[in-house]
Amino acid sequence: MPAPPEPERLADYMGDASSRLGGLYMRSRARNLPRYLLEQGAQALLGWIPGLPGLGLRALGYWPLLGRESGLPFIEPRAELFQMDAITVGKNVYIDSGCRIHATRAEIELGDNSRIMRNAYLCTCVSNPRRGEGIHIGTGCWVGIDAIICSGQGGIHLGRNVLIGPRATLVTGGHDFRCTSMSTLRQEYVGAPIRIGDNVWLGAHSVVLGGVSIGERAVVAAGAVVTQDVPPLTIVGGVPAKPIGFVTTEEQGGA
């Protein structure tokens, strides 16, 4: 039985250019060389085409390359997808221009009717990514402009109807900075899970760190940094985030 591959570290990507570094680059973007050529070839041919023709051609051209049980995606020009067979896209998913969705063995799942807006970055390409500890986005979620969602260790799970504001950041991992006997590039990268409940709203420029759970219908104010769990129906703000109010339940009148 072959030995498992050694985990990849940040330092592996920081050396001088070499054939090994080229191999690391390729494997970070596709499962193997044939898949790399297939996925990058499809995006080179179809990724620039504007308007409805481009949406239709990319849906048909990218769909066979995506993870099993994927629906037909609506993808704007200049969106980048890496490790496409580890990306599962639900029905009626929209991916805006300039987005980068970078999976690894830690998969990325986009739920039905989700919207990934311009220049958002979804990434599981971290040191030693782990299968099953990627990114799961539930049904009807909105990921705002320039938002960053990064896992690979620990896992990020978004419930249904979650709203993520512009430039919000969710990151599960960090470096073991206490280990001062080695350079920061070689310090261990450790991730802890993030769980976001249904109908949560994360304001613009908010930050959610690893090991945090946010309960249903909670609200995170713009610019807040969440380092501890947030109960349901709670509004938090500040650095670090603390409770500043509560969500009162009421029926919204129709137009």
Task: Give 21-39 pLDDT, tens digit per residue.
Answer: 667 777 888 989 999 999 9
CA dihedral 125, 128, 132, 136 (to 10 degrees): -30
Contact 58, 47 (CB under 8 A): yes
Residue 255 has what pLDDT?
43
pLDDT over 70 percentage in the chain: 89
Structure tokens belonging to residue 12 = 């592996």
Active site residues: 175
Give pLDDT, residue 127. 77
Distances from the Cα of 80 to the Cα of 26, 75, 228, 239, angstroms: 15, 10, 33, 33
Mean pLDDT of the chain: 89
20: helix, strand or coil: helix
Give the pLDDT mean for 140-158. Answer: 95
What is the predicted pLDDT for the residue at 3?
47
Q: Which has more confidence, 179 or 225? A: 225
Question: For position 2, what pLDDT does the model report?
Answer: 46
- Res. 4 pLDDT band, cuts 50 70 90: very low
Domains along the sequence of the chain with CATH: 38-174+186-210 (2.160.10.10)
> What are the tens digits of pLDDT across the range 61-97?
999 999 999 999 999 999 999 999 999 999 999 999 9
The structure tokens 């769909």 sit at 63
Higher pLDDT, 161 or 11: 161
pLDDT digits (tens, 9 = 90+) for 172-198: 987 777 777 777 777 677 889 999 999
Output the pTM of the full model: 0.89
**Residue 119 in tokens:** 């220049």
